[in-house]
Amino acid sequence: MAKWSRRVFTQAALALASGAGGRALSAASAPGASSLVDLSATDAVMHMTRGDFTVESYAQALIEQCRRASSLNAFISFDADRVMDEARRKDRARRAGDLLGPLFGLPIPVKDSVNTQDYPTTGGTPALRNFRPRHDAPLVAQLKSAGAIVLGKTNLHELSYGWTSNNLAFGPVRNPYDRQRIPGGSSGGTAAAISARLAPLGVAEDTEGSIRVPAAFCGVMGLRPTTGRYPTLGCVPVTPVFDQLGPQARTVADLALFDSVIAGVPQPLVARPLKSVRLGVVRDYFFTDLDPDVELLTQRALSRLTDAGASIVEGSLPDLARLIDLTTAIISNHEVIGELTRYLKTYHAGIDLEQLVSSSSTDIRDYFRDWIMPGGKHVPSHQEYVAARHRYLPAVRHLYREHFASQRIDALVFPTTRIPAPRIGDETDFNIGGRVVSFDVAVGQNIAPGSTAGVPGLVIPVGLTRAGLPVSLEFDAPAGSDRALLALGLSIERVVDATPAPKEESNRILGASTIGGKHVTLKGAPH
């Protein structure tokens, strides 16, 4: 990755911030202490790079915010002293005139399925509670090389197998907009942290919606990049066919900053005018059985986009539902055994797969028994797996390529989830317009095709329901068009309704923190 001088990076950061539209704070002057936690990553780095405030003062503000929002249970591991020590080292480096990276001084929370040498990597499961990898995952190493600081490890759905983040081992993550509701999963801790202003930019991971569902439920941006765009080594796996690390943030510009660092494209991004944009809509798959508020906010956002000049192109994806049923879960559930076995051996976790599964929480253990482990009543046959991997997966990807080309569309647009965040424990069936819709369909049906097709997906919030819960749209673009999608996103976020921040008072518990499901004092935090 390229090393940038302080002067050169400051110029680039200013250009990127100007392309982000009105949601990024102005870079004209340094913000006061009370507004530090509201800064975008782009603005925070720019201010620290040019010395408007210290990395130490910024880290202190975020740590204090983590303390105030401790009831969210967003973190499994958190060491405030370590963060502050790293922040002071960054300040010394700046004063010494060292070259500063494009993420200089930025504390970034990392999903606790991604290896870090300074923190345990639990995967959210009991058997890995004390597992400390010898090295950072390549993506974490890239972030640190660019000047970032690891701001702890975030809570998640155990072993990334679920869309709720109701972790029975480390406690449930709670939604910043309503602590009685789920934040989505599996990357719920990172999304909750970004939403609650514990950090502006975080690391998540998506096999089948684990970046996008939490982004939607927590009212933040999320990017699932084209499969293979970012390295996924050193991450508790499901399958390399679908696994992909990616960012969550509160502005598209911050997603673009993350992408520029990890993909090695350090140029600023220019917003694409909407007047030339064609957005595809497939109503018979993505727009059925929508919660009334989700439907209302979706249509309002589409009207905003068309008023700004975008064209809506109606189309269809024939046989998509059947192809997804024959592909996605079958591949994941077949390959996870071998992938987890290799991960545990490669990174010297000190346990085997049987120990991992037998020590897992009851919900995960039951799922593995029935759907994954040999002899389970729902385990796909080898013939079903071969057909999924070599027949139906290519068919899904061909279907997507042909649809983008024949319709001449820049992106598919649809509501990320069909419902807003449900209450914790209320994850069974929903009555939508007189029809019974399962949790898996309401939450997972719209996000599954993008993962399976391997295309980039960008989640942008578009407002709050009458109950004050976020709703978002997802924009899926052709494989490899990540930068073009982000450029489009810069314009989209200017047009759709802004989503207000969650009310901080609902998340506040003073003087203590819930870390890993236990009520403990934050080490090194002010009281």
Active site members: 111, 186, 210
Distances (CA, A) of 193 to 183, 202, 431: 10, 8, 31
What backbone torsions phi and psi does residue 384 show, to the nearest 5 degrees? -65, -40
Beta carbons of 367 and 360 less than 8 angstroms apart:
no
Distance CA 180, CA 249 (A): 23
Q: Are 258 and 247 in contact (CB under 8 A)?
A: yes
Confirm if 166 and 209 have CB atoms less than 8 A apart. Answer: no
Q: Which residue intervals of 69-182 are DSSP H helices? A: 80-95, 138-145
Q: Which two tokens stand for residue 212?
A: 């996008």
Coil, strand, or helix at residue 454?
coil
Task: Give me the count of residues in the chain.
Answer: 527
> Residues near 235 by Cβ (< 8 Å), separated by ≥ 6?
113, 114, 115, 137, 139, 205, 243, 245
Contact 407, 277 (CB under 8 A): no
Q: What is the dihedral of CA 266, 262, 187, 319, to 10 degrees?
A: 90
Cross-strand partners of 312: 279
- What are the angstrom distances between the C-alpha of 485 and each of 18, 268, 302, 457, 482? 18, 14, 17, 8, 5
Query: Six-digit token pair at 99?
Result: 């070259």
* Pairing status of strand 221-224 against strand 457-464: antiparallel
Q: Give the separation between CA 253 and CA 110, rounded to whole angstroms.
A: 19
Q: Pick from 104, 112, 216: which is nearest to 159 by CA?
A: 112
